[in-house]
Amino acid sequence: LGGGVLKGRIGMDRLMAVGHSFGGATCLTACNSDLRFKACAVFDVWLFPLSLAMAHATLRIPTLFLVAETFDNLWPKEGRKVLDGFLRRARASGVPIEAFKVIGSRHQNFSDFPVLAPGFTQALGMAGPTKPSVVIEVANKCAISFLLHNHESTEAVTWMDSAMSFLGIEKPSLSLIL
C-alpha cells in the first residue's frame, strides 16, 4: 500500500475484521495479536483450529459472535466451552462482547452458496429453514452495525438498535447466548 489510489484512504491504525468458520478463527487470532485491530465480528466461527493459548485468551477488542442455530449440535463440548470462556473473560475485563444465534440458520448460511442456490442447499440440509438471503442480510447488517458502533463509539444508540433500524424490523431473528 505504498501509493496509488488507496494511499491515505485506509486507516491502518484502526482495522476491523470479519470472518466465517476458519476465517473467523483467523480473525480472532489476528485481532488478539495485532494492536491495529479495533473490533471483530465472526460468523459461526470454527473454534477447533485455535491454539490452546488463543482458546484461553481474554479477547482485547469488541467482538461479535453470530452463530448458526446448529452451533451447539456441531460443537457440543469444546466449542461451546471455548465460546463461553471468551464471553466470561471478556466481560470480566470490560471488553464489549456479544454472542447471538441466528434463528433458522446452519453453518453454510453464512457463506454465499445458499444465497446462490437456496432450494438446493435447503433440500440437502446445508442451509437452515430461514430464507438464505435473510440470514446473510441479518448477519451482515448486525456485523456492520456492531463494527461501526464500536469504531465510532456512539453511545446514544446501541449497535442492536442501529441494526434493527437498518434491517427494518422490530424483533431480531436472533437469540442471545448468555
Kindly indicate the confidence band of residue 62, based on its pLDDT and cuts at 50, 70 and 90: very high
Of the ranges 22-36, 77-91, 155-169, which one carries the lowest mean pLDDT score? 155-169
- Average pLDDT of the residues in 155-166: 57
Residue 175, pLDDT score:
61
153-54-33 Cα angle (round to 5): 50
Residue 11, pLDDT score:
78
Kindly indicate the confidence band of residue 167, based on its pLDDT and cuts at 50, 70 and 90: low
Q: Is the pLDDT of residue 178 over 60?
A: no
pLDDT tens-digit profile of 120-156?
A: 998 998 999 988 998 998 899 889 888 888 876 555 4
In the chain, the amino acid numbered 110 is F
Picking from 28, 173, 169, the residue whose alpha carbon sits closest to that of residue 109 is 173
Reported pTM: 0.85
DSSP character for 116?
H
Residue 5, pLDDT score:
80
Mean pLDDT for the chain? Answer: 84
pLDDT tens-digit profile of 29-39?
A: 999 999 999 99
End-to-end CA distance of the chain: 41
